[in-house]
Amino acid sequence: MKLTGEEKEMLGGKEGPVVAEAIDYLVQFGEAFGAEKLIDIVYCHYPAEMGIYEGMVEEAVGYSNTGVRVKVPTTSSTLCSDLEKPEITDIPKPLAELQAKIEPAHRRMGILETYTCTPQLLGFIPPFGSYNALVESSAIIYYNSVLGARTNRGGMFTRFSAVTGKYPLMGYLLDENRKGTHLFKVKLPTEMLENYDVWCALGFHIGNIVGSDVPVIDVPIKHVKQEWLLGLGATLATAGSVTLFHIPGVTPEARTIEEAFHGDVPKDYYEVTEKEINVIYKKLTTIENGAEIDFVNLGCPHYNLEQIRYVADKLDGKRVADGVRCWICTNRMTRKQAEYSGFVEKIERAGAKVIADTCPVESHMRISTCKDFGLKTPNVDAMVCNSGKMLRYVGDLIGCKTALTNIDKCIESAITGRFEL
Ligand code: F3S
């Protein structure tokens, strides 16, 4: 790999051994994938360093104690605890205390304590075509597809990018890897596409087919809400391992279908009708209609202020059924604004909770963590949710029954304590 003078100096230890080690890892990583050089990144979303993984927080604190600092604006991903209000999730105190040690460590390194899977909702919007290094598959796919800001699935190498400001030029940073592979013609009634959960089901179906390829999704509407793209991307990234998608006329690298394929022919063509979408609802719904439920989750990926306002208005004057936990997950800044706007009070008055920094599958409710802390296992029996990504994980990680439905039915289910199909 060809290195610049600055990079050679870093490698030689001019900025200390931790930076030298970081750039060495990046060089080796790039060489393994045939990258010709490193590039400068403009933004980084840093890995969740979570208390539920043995030794992870201690290791991260040790890393921060070396004095190393990040070189580019760096936000941070979700944790297992709501650091400001740990008690509202019923997390065991020792685990909350362990997780809280990450915050001063991140501050020492210059990492911003956002603790969210949707940093784009906080205004971290790098320029179109810029190079970035991110973790969190639902954020990565959004940055690539909707913003046209280039990133791979960074994994733990993101730490090395944060402290060097570098990444190997490879993967989705290169034009040739950004062209569409499969064409999907969506033939759903436009009123169906007004629902967030339908975009999740669409993502689930397409993700299952394409795996890690680049789907081009031709939808019959051109006015697409940001939250639908979030739900679609998050589910594409988890049902498959999709890192980039295009919607002609909507996403910036696909003004037309031809542009999405860089002038080439798609390797496959599929039509998506209600039939395929119904299969996904059936697959993700194991709770019988009318059966008792004990958890309703909204906010996967983390909600924006408008989504919280909608829930607050729906819950206003209502009451969540006894024995049902109803979580609305978001980032801490949005929760602050939602407190200011009176939305949190309305939600709490109804017996629901606005949770920041975490979500059910990242929390202590995972089967393994429940066992470690002697908590009821599974911690949840039946979860109703409008997110395909959440439901892709909760069955395995929390071990509960699940149901995918729209936001209004989720809220209705929380109030009646039963799954309202
Ligand atoms: Fe975010 Fe948790 Fe969903 S990290 S994307 S709310 S699974």
Confidence at residue 171, expressed as pLDDT on a 0 to 100 scale: 98
In the reported structure, the alpha carbon of residue 363 is separated from the centroid of ligand 1 by a whole-number distance in angstroms of: 10
Render pLDDT for 10-21 as a digit per residue (tens, 0 to 9): 999 999 999 999
Instruction: Report CA-CA distances (Å) from 252 to 16, 41, 133, 255.
Output: 40, 20, 20, 6
Buried b (16+ CB within 10 A) or exposed e, 156-190: ebbbbbbbbbbbbbbbbbeeeebbbbbbbebebee
Does the beta carbon of 138 sit less than 6 angstroms from any atom of ligand 1? Answer: yes
Q: How many CB atoms lie within 10 A of CB 57?
A: 22
Does the beta carbon of 117 sit less than 6 angstroms from any atom of ligand 1? Answer: yes
Rounded Cα distance, 281 and 165, in Å: 42
In the reported structure, the alpha carbon of residue 359 is separated from the centroid of ligand 1 by a whole-number distance in angstroms of: 6
- % pLDDT > 90, the chain: 98
In the reported structure, the alpha carbon of residue 224 is separated from the centroid of ligand 1 by a whole-number distance in angstroms of: 21
Confidence at residue 156, expressed as pLDDT on a 0 to 100 scale: 85
Render pLDDT for 344-370 as a digit per residue (tens, 0 to 9): 999 999 999 999 999 999 999 999 999
Residue type for 96, please?
A
Question: Which ligand 1 atom sits nearest the alpha carbon of residue 78?
Answer: 4
- Element spanning 173, H or E: none
Confidence at residue 284, expressed as pLDDT on a 0 to 100 scale: 97
Render pLDDT for 183-193 as a digit per residue (tens, 0 to 9): 999 999 999 99
Question: Of the candidates 122, 161, 147, which has an alpha carbon nearest to the alpha carbon of residue 42?
Answer: 161
In the reported structure, the alpha carbon of residue 357 is separated from the centroid of ligand 1 by a whole-number distance in angstroms of: 10
Cβ distance 174 to 155 under 8 Å? Answer: no
Instruction: Report CA-CA distances (Å) from 37 to 163, 300, 340.
Output: 17, 36, 48
Confidence at residue 421, expressed as pLDDT on a 0 to 100 scale: 81
- Counting every residue written for the chain, the total comes to 421
Rounded Cα distance, 145 and 138, in Å: 11
CA-closest residue to ligand 1 atom 6: 300
Whether the predicted pLDDT of 155 surpasses 90:
no
Does the beta carbon of 390 sit less than 6 angstroms from any atom of ligand 1? Answer: yes
Question: Kind of pairing, strands 166-168 and 38-40?
Answer: antiparallel
In the reported structure, the alpha carbon of residue 330 is separated from the centroid of ligand 1 by a whole-number distance in angstroms of: 9
Q: Is 233 strand, coil or helix?
A: helix
User: Do the two domains 5-175 and 285-416 of this chain adopt the same fold?
Assistant: yes
Check: CATH 3.30.499.10 for 285-416? yes
Residue 185, Cα to own-chain centre: how many angstroms?
Answer: 26
Instruction: Report CA-CA distances (Å) from 256 to 142, 246, 251, 294.
Output: 19, 10, 10, 45
pTM above 0.95, yes or no: yes
Residue type for 328, please?
I
Rounded Cα distance, 239 and 251, in Å: 21
CA-closest residue to ligand 1 atom 7: 390
Question: Of the candidates 374, 385, 382, 381, which has an alpha carbon nearest to the alpha carbon of residue 407?
Answer: 385
Rounded Cα distance, 372 and 289, in Å: 33
Confidence at residue 164, expressed as pLDDT on a 0 to 100 scale: 98
Rounded Cα distance, 181 and 215, in Å: 6
- Element spanning 113, H or E: none
Render pLDDT for 330-345 as a digit per residue (tens, 0 to 9): 999 999 999 999 999 9
Whether the predicted pLDDT of 222 surpasses 90:
no
Render pLDDT for 234-283 as a digit per residue (tens, 0 to 9): 999 999 999 999 999 999 999 999 999 999 999 999 999 999 999 999 99
Could you state, in order of their start, the residue ranges of all structural domains in the chain? 5-175, 179-282, 285-416
Cβ distance 175 to 55 under 8 Å? Answer: no
Pocket mutation for ligand 1, best pick of 362, 363, 366 (most atoms within 8 Å of C-beta):
362
Dihedral over Cα of 129, 122, 180, 33: its sign: positive
Q: At how many degrees (to 10) do helices 196-210 and 274-284 cross?
A: 90
Q: Is 1 strand, coil or helix?
A: coil
Confidence at residue 1, expressed as pLDDT on a 0 to 100 scale: 95
CATH of 5-175 given 3.40.50.11810, 3.30.499.10, 2.60.40.10, 1.10.10.10 = 3.30.499.10
Does the beta carbon of 392 sit less than 6 angstroms from any atom of ligand 1? Answer: no
Confidence at residue 420, expressed as pLDDT on a 0 to 100 scale: 84
User: In sequence order, what E strands does 90-234 have?
Assistant: 132-134, 166-168, 182-186, 215-218
Rounded Cα distance, 383 and 398, in Å: 10
Question: Which ligand 1 atom sits nearest the alpha carbon of residue 138?
Answer: 5
Question: Which ligand 1 atom sits nearest the alpha carbon of residue 301?
Answer: 5
Does the beta carbon of 302 sit less than 6 angstroms from any atom of ligand 1? Answer: yes
